[in-house]
């Protein structure tokens, strides 16, 4: 008997960190488990896209807030056939009932093609643009978060001052959403587009984050705050708050010191799925900015990983009869609707 139920972010963590090739936690809004005979055998997670560029590139800025990324799926090796597609299709049914644009990527750099998404009728829209990644001297991936942990331990006084940059010291006092709404107001008042602001500041896709009000929002750097003020002419309301900083080691120089290299990687296979009422789905498909292409048929490769022996069984029906607030407080926003079951 196969079932799919909402789970907490905490329940998914062990699976993602130990079994997924990336070995890191993404941003998660909704998480679901694949249960076989009431024992969890796989996990799938969804989160708002961290990139405003990705969100707006699918159906335009109008639908960018409806974009959700299927960002992790891991399943034990000895599960019944078609369990992966069963988990994908039924987890989609358990997402809150609203319009969604689901995007997911199959990493061509490790031999993934995306056959799971093909089996569940996702639309294929080609490869994403090429990207860069950090690798160490042995060629192993070195994620930027790991770099951040190392940087926290550095004594800046032992670093040449020409490699110092400014970093805010009071982020916990700043309401990022409030500031982004404030900046968005002045941007609209100025009449400049995000692309124009990027161009004036010498960036390509940076400033879009400063005017977002979803999970992709971020603040300008201390120096960018001053430059942005000259362009969109906002007042002094947040100047004192946003200009408190300390000097830290420049990231680019730190990368060189650690012997890390930026390497170019191939784009990833990009798949899209629309959720919502029939009329909503029809409209979103018409708004799709990406070309729908035939499914790729490359030979997929498996990477070595352990199977997870999770002792936590599904007890009775408790996992789906709890109040929605319980799931939200534990990091899952999905409404625990009745399960979808397949009996063998």
- The SS3 of residue 101 is strand
- Which CATH number is 291's domain given? 3.40.630.30
Same domain, 336 and 324: yes
Q: Give the pLDDT band (50/70/90) at residue 30.
A: very high
Averaged over 13-28, what is the pLDDT? 86
Domain total in the chain: 3
Task: Compute the average pLDDT of residues 68-85.
Answer: 93
- DSSP assignment, residue 271? E
- Tell whether 260 and 320 lie within a shared domain: no
Tokens, residue 203: 């960036």
Whole-number Å distance between alpha carbons of 90 and 294: 24
* Rounded Cα gap, residues 216 and 202, in angstroms: 21
CA–CA dist 119, 86 (Å, integer): 9
- pLDDT (average), residues 207-223: 89
Residues 6+ apart with CB under 8 A from 84: 42, 73, 75, 116, 119
Residue-wise pLDDT for 148-193, tens only, equals 666 666 777 777 778 787 888 888 889 999 999 999 999 999 999 9
How many Å apart are CA 333 and CA 331, to the nearest integer? 7
Asked if residue 52 and residue 163 are part of one domain, the reply reads: no
Position 262 scores a pLDDT of 76
Tell me which of 241 and 109 has the higher pLDDT: 241
Boundary-marking domain end, from 187, 209, 243: 243
Task: Name the pLDDT band for 322 (thresholds 50, 70, 90).
Answer: very low
In the numeric block, the tokens 């170019």 are attached to 264
Q: Could you write out the DSSP letters of every residue in 183-229?
A: HHHHHHHHT--HHHHHHHHT-SSSGGGGG--STT--PPPHHHHHHHH
Tokens 């860069």 -> residue:
132
Same domain assignment for residues 124 and 26 = yes
Cα separation, 18 vs 197, whole angstroms: 42
Based on the domain organization, do 255 and 271 belong to the same domain?
no
pTM greater than 0.75 (yes/no): no
Residue 2, pLDDT above cutoff 60: yes
Whole domain around residue 328: which residue ranges? 2-129+266-342
Phi first, then psi: what are they for 195, rounded to 5°? -60, -40
- Give the model's pLDDT for residue 141: 66
Q: For residue 30, what are the β-bridge partners? A: 46
Confidence of residue 250 (pLDDT cuts 50, 70, 90): confident
In this predicted structure, what is the pLDDT of residue 331? 43
Which CATH number is 235's domain given?
Answer: 1.10.260
Higher pLDDT residue, 169 or 72? 72
Q: What is the pLDDT of residue 324?
A: 36
Instruction: Record the tokens describing residue 237, joined without a space.
Output: 């309301």
Containing H/E element for 80?
Answer: none
Q: Are residues 140 and 123 in the same domain?
A: no
Same domain, yes or no: 18 and 119: yes
With H, G, I as helix, E, B as strand and everything else as coil, classify residue 175: coil
Average pLDDT of the residues of the chain: 83
- Of 1, 9, 85, the C-alpha closest to 35 is 1
Instruction: Provide the pLDDT for residue 307.
Output: 79
Q: For residues 55 and 80, state if they share a domain.
A: yes
Residues 234 and 301 in one domain: no
What is the per-residue pLDDT for 281? 96
Same domain as 193, residue 149: no
Under 8 Å between Cβ of 289 and 141: no
Contact indicator for 58, 103 with CB cutoff of 8 Å = yes
């Amino acid at each position: 008997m196969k079932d799919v139920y909402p789970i907490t972010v905490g329940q998914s963590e062990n699976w993602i960190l130990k079994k997924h090739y990336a070995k890191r936690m993404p941003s998660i809004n909704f998480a679901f488990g694949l249960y076989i005979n009431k024992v969890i055998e796989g996990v799938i997670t969804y989160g708002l896209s961290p990139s405003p560029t990705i969100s707006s590139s699918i159906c335009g800025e109008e639908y960018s807030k409806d974009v959700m990324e299927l960002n992790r799926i891991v399943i034990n090796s000895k599960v019944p056939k078609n369990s992966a597609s069963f988990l994908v299709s039924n987890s989609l049914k358990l997402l809150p009932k609203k319009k969604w644009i689901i995007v997911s990527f199959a990493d061509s750099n490790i031999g993934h093609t995306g056959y799971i998404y093909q089996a569940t009728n996702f639309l294929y829209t080609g490869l994403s643009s090429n990207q860069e990644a950090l690798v160490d001297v042995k060629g192993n991936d070195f994620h930027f978060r790991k770099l951040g942990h190392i940087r926290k331990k550095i004594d800046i006084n032992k670093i040449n001052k020409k490699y110092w940059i400014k970093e805010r010291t009071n982020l916990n006092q700043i309401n990022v959403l409030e500031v982004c709404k404030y900046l968005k107001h002045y941007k609209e008042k100025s009449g400049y587009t995000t692309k124009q602001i990027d161009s004036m500041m010498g960036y390509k896709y940076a400033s879009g984050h400063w005017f977002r009000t979803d999970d992709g929002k971020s603040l300008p750097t201390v120096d960018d705050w001053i430059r942005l003020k000259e362009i969109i002419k906002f007042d002094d309301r947040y100047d004192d708050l946003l200009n408190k900083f300390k000097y830290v080691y420049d990231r680019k120089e730190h990368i060189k010191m650690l012997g890390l290299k930026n390497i170019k990687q191939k784009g990833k296979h990009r798949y899209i799925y629309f959720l919502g009422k029939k009329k909503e789905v029809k409209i979103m498909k018409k708004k799709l900015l990406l070309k729908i292409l035939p499914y790729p048929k490359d030979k997929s490769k498996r990477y070595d990983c352990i199977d997870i022996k999770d002792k936590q069984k599904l007890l009775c029906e408790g996992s789906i009869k709890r109040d929605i607030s319980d799931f939200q407080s534990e990091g899952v926003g999905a409404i625990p609707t009745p399960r979808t079951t397949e009996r063998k």
